[in-house]
Amino acid sequence: MAQKLTQRYTTTTYPQPTVNNFASPIVDASMLAVVAGTFVYVGATEVIPEEWEDPEHKWKKFFALISGIVTIFAITQYTMTLEM
Amino acid sequence: MNSRSSSKWGIAILILSQCAVSTTDAVTLWHNQKDNFKDYYQRKFYGSSGMFGDTTAASGDSPLNVRGGDTASSCDSTSATSSITATKRQKQHRSPRFSILSKRQPIIPIDCCTDCSTCMSISSLETYNCHDALSSIPRGGHLHHTHDGSSSATSAANVLADTLLDNTSPNAASELINTATPYGIPLNIWKIIFQAMLTTINVVCWLLPLKSKKISENKLGLSIANAFSGGVFLSLAFGHLIPECVEGFHGVKSSSSGTVGSSILSNEALPYMIVLSGYLLIFFVEKVAFDAHDIMHEMESGGNSSHDSHTNKKEKKNGAPLPSLTTKESSGFTGSSAVILLGALGVHSILEMTALGLADTFGDSALLSLSIALHQPAESIALLVAFLKSGMPKPQIVQFLSVFSCMGPIGVAIGMAGKWRIVYIVYLALYLQILNTRYGTKTHSTLYHYYLPSTNSE
pLDDT value for B19: 52
pLDDT value for B411: 78
Question: Contacts of residue B274 in chain A, CB cutoff 8 Å?
Answer: 30, 33-34, 37
Q: How close is the nearest chain A Cα to the Cα of B369, in Å?
A: 10
- Asked if B209 is an interface residue toward chain A (Cβ–Cβ < 8 A), one would say no
Sort B190 into a burial class: Cβ within 10 Å, 0-12 / 13-18 / 19+.
buried
Report, in angstroms and rounded to the nearest whole number, the Rg of chain B calculated over CA atoms: 26
As a whole number of angstroms, the distance between CA B280 and CA B139 comes to 37
Q: Which residue has the higher pLDDT, A81 or B292?
A: A81
Q: How close is the nearest chain B Cα to the Cα of A4, in Å?
A: 25
pLDDT value for B111: 47
Q: Which residues 313-332 of B are in CB contact (within 8 Å) with A?
A: 328-329, 331-332
For the cut 70, the answer to whether the pLDDT of residue A80 exceeds it is yes
pLDDT value for B424: 59
- Cα B325 to Cα B153, B315, B330, distances in angstroms: 65, 10, 9
pLDDT value for A10: 43
Please list the ranges in chain B whose pLDDT falls under 50: 1-11, 13-14, 24, 26-31, 33-119, 125, 130-175, 177-179, 295, 298, 302-332, 439-458
Number of other residues whose CB lies within 10 A of the CB of residue B58: 10
Q: Which residue of B has its CA nearest to A60?
A: B224
**CA atoms in the 13 A half-sphere facing the CB of B137:** 24
pLDDT value for B68: 39
Question: Contacts of residue A84 in chain B, CB cutoff 8 Å?
Answer: 100, 139-140
Give SS3 for B206: helix
pLDDT value for B17: 52
pLDDT value for B441: 46
Question: Contacts of residue A24 in chain B, CB cutoff 8 Å?
Answer: 105, 420, 423-424
pLDDT value for B195: 85
- Asked if B334 is an interface residue toward chain A (Cβ–Cβ < 8 A), one would say no
pLDDT value for B458: 31
As a 3-state breakdown, chain B gives helix, strand, coil percent values, each rounded to 5, of: 80, 0, 20
- How many helices (H) and strands (E) in chain A? 4, 0
**CA atoms in the 13 A half-sphere facing the CB of B222:** 24
- Across the interface, do B105 and A82 touch by the CB < 8 Å criterion? no
- Asked if B374 is an interface residue toward chain A (Cβ–Cβ < 8 A), one would say yes
pLDDT tens-digit map of B373-412: 877 888 888 888 888 877 778 888 888 888 888 888 887 8
As a whole number of angstroms, the distance between CA B72 and CA B67 comes to 8
pLDDT value for A66: 92
- Across the interface, do A46 and B337 touch by the CB < 8 Å criterion? yes
pLDDT tens-digit map of B246-272: 888 887 777 666 666 666 777 778 889
Q: How close is the nearest chain B Cα to the Cα of A78, in Å?
A: 9
pLDDT value for B316: 37
For the cut 60, the answer to whether the pLDDT of residue A35 exceeds it is yes
Give how far the C-alpha of residue B453 lies from the chain's centroid of Cα atoms, to the nearest Å.
39
As a whole number of angstroms, the distance between CA B142 and CA B251 comes to 9
Number of other residues whose CB lies within 10 A of the CB of residue B172: 12
As a whole number of angstroms, the distance between CA B67 and CA B271 comes to 35
Q: Which residues 33-92 of B are in CB contact (within 8 Å) with A?
A: none
Number of other residues whose CB lies within 10 A of the CB of residue B370: 15
Question: Contacts of residue A83 in chain B, CB cutoff 8 Å?
Answer: 100, 103, 367, 371
pLDDT value for B276: 92
- Across the interface, do A39 and B233 touch by the CB < 8 Å criterion? yes
- Asked if A14 is an interface residue toward chain B (Cβ–Cβ < 8 A), one would say no
pLDDT value for A77: 85
- Across the interface, do B282 and A38 touch by the CB < 8 Å criterion? yes
- Asked if A55 is an interface residue toward chain B (Cβ–Cβ < 8 A), one would say no
pLDDT value for B18: 54
**CA atoms in the 13 A half-sphere facing the CB of B274:** 24
Give me the residue from A29, A54, A60 closest to B249, CB to CB.
Answer: A29
pLDDT value for B303: 43
